[in-house]
Structure 1
């Protein structure tokens, strides 16, 4: 899914969510802007007004919660063929702002889609309504699972689960970013990897 020639566009992603072709493609594409980001370049920063949905066509975007002390913890990753948004930025009014920052972990091609146009289409067509509902459902399921993992699993279990479920992504990331995602320090992750390397079937060389 990381090949720009085969990654789905924003419209195609919404069709997949709706499980059917969607009407008025030209209206969505008229509200879509393509952005190219270099490695490390921000797509947006926390506190910005960004009422948009972002579809990743190539590369990897990392989403980061940043503290006032300058620390950052990675919320998640968006790979090619997926879409995401800051839900707090999709609310109505002046207070609607992003709650996290998003950076290109690899050089990226991203589609930025005006959420208001998606809402208009959902108001007129059942298929668009179904696509939007499914997108929020998937977001809710992922959020619940992430909370469960952070509250009930050990750091080692979270690390192994990440490697098992997203091996392709893990191979592209730096150790410090994986550590941030599983909520340990890079030093603690190094110790986890050293322990695993000493076990039968351990995986010392995944990062």
Structure 2
């Protein structure tokens, strides 16, 4: 009888541990996606909005015209690809925050970009966490490169929720994460 109770307790413990590990993995993927979007949006905002680039075919059509159009450089495919190459390196600038009521993890920028004040009272910096966040970011970029390019080339509103929750299903709890102020 006692052995059965011990075995039941052991099985329950392993199930809870597995459930918690799965949730932490989900939190990490979601956090990496949200941080990736933050970093991409910031990098795009640093490009002069007046700069344009010509895209399309430079071949001359039978009627003598060309299929060239101008698009903003910031949201051009070439620029977005270039930005994506270095975005995961910036995951080292993030720390982990644990919500005490839900025990869910989220990830916040801990290094200022340019003189902005930062509240780091709740953030924890751990090299293992930043390495995991960077790996999760690289995995997201590898598996969802086309979706990321598509979203940043055409979307400007709620990219975090649209990309991380609706398109890629990396965030299953998007409604529980506070939205950034605009």
TM-score scaled by structure 2?
A: 0.24
The structure with more radius of gyration:
2
Query: How high is the TM-score relative to the length of structure 1?
Result: 0.22
